[in-house]
Amino acid sequence: MEPARGALRASGGAEALLGELEVRVQDVVRVSSWWERHGVDCAILALNFLALPPGFLCLRSENLLVFALGIAILGVCHYTLTVKGSHLATHGALTESKRWSKIWVLFFVEVCTSFTAEHAKYGHVKMHHGYTNVLGLGDSSTWRLPCLNRYVYMFLAPLLIPIITPLVAVERLREVELRTALRTLGLISLGLYSHYWLLLNVSGFQSPSSALACMLITRSLLAHPYLHVNIFQHIGLPMFSRDKKPQRIHMMSLGVLNLPRLPVLDWAFGHSLISCHVEHHLFPRLSDNMCLKVKPVVSQFLREKQLPYNEDSYLARFRLFLHHYEELMVQTPPITELVGLQ
């Protein structure tokens, strides 16, 4: 009976800690305005929409610098809409309206990102967030490709993300109802064809091949940091077994890592994926701006309670993965045993 009582005490203690942290965070949220809760991030997304026409028009120029500016604008806008927009929409963090949340998920995930809304919510919200770093469930194993060596994976593989994403989406349509599959196919086609049409008719590309090449370049502009961020912030940290996973507050404090603030990535990916990833995993329905606002509260609380608060630089994580690629990305990670916390 003693181990059972110990487990109950540990469970109760973890729940009490999480409850105390939730109270502190809710106090911050309660006194925050709509602008802070949703407005800032909605404004960033709106600015990216407004930047699209200048971006397409820049591609009409014969001046190499202006043309490169157009590529940069469209590339950053693409990742802001597909990563930041899709991520916030999937978590319902863009609005408090359930109806509008559903609309934004379809728009950002299917039209902009060329992926399936159902699998985005299931794979990311239910599995990754519900079972963070639990082997076989939310352990980020979908990002592992053991057949590739470290240099191909870290430097070349990201360029294929714009091609692989819609192909994976189509493959997964076999698992959904026919009506849902037709809707997803229609919205993905709308997004891809709109991009292609604008390059031909607004940017003035003369051939389909040149327009498709431009689509690939803009859609892979930030593919390298996108792939890297997804592996840096979980892989290499403690992993847990299904039957001995720790309580939520321990799972998130041990299995999640924050990167420092990086202006371009903060804008395109959002604070919740870069410098506030711990906060995001603890409070996934908060917007990027609110994650940034509660960051001092969360970090102070975890350190005050002597819980881990993982932080590391992008360059340090890059070096770690390059030098220990086999151990981190090929071999099965060891399971971390937390005595009294599972």
For the entire predicted model, the pTM comes to 0.93
Q: Which residues of 184-210 are buried (b: 16+ CB within 10 A; e: fewer)?
A: bbebbeebbeebbebbeeebebeeeee
Write out residues in the chain with pLDDT < 70, as ranges: 1-12, 337-342
pLDDT at position 8 is 36
Q: Would you give the end-to-end CA distance of the chain in angstroms?
A: 16
pLDDT at position 11 is 57
Q: For the segment 285-316, what is each residue's pLDDT rounded down to a tens digit?
A: 999 999 999 999 999 999 999 999 999 999 99
pLDDT at position 12 is 66
pLDDT at position 338 is 61
pLDDT at position 9 is 46
pLDDT at position 7 is 40
Say if residues 288 and 41 touch (Cβ distance below 8 Å). yes
Amino acid at 86: S
pLDDT at position 13 is 83
Q: For the segment 159-198, what is each residue's pLDDT rounded down to a tens digit?
A: 999 999 999 999 999 989 999 999 999 999 999 999 999 9
CA distance 289 to 294: 9
Beta-carbon contacts of residue 305 (< 8 Å; ≥ 6 apart): 17
For residue 286, give the DSSP letter. Answer: S
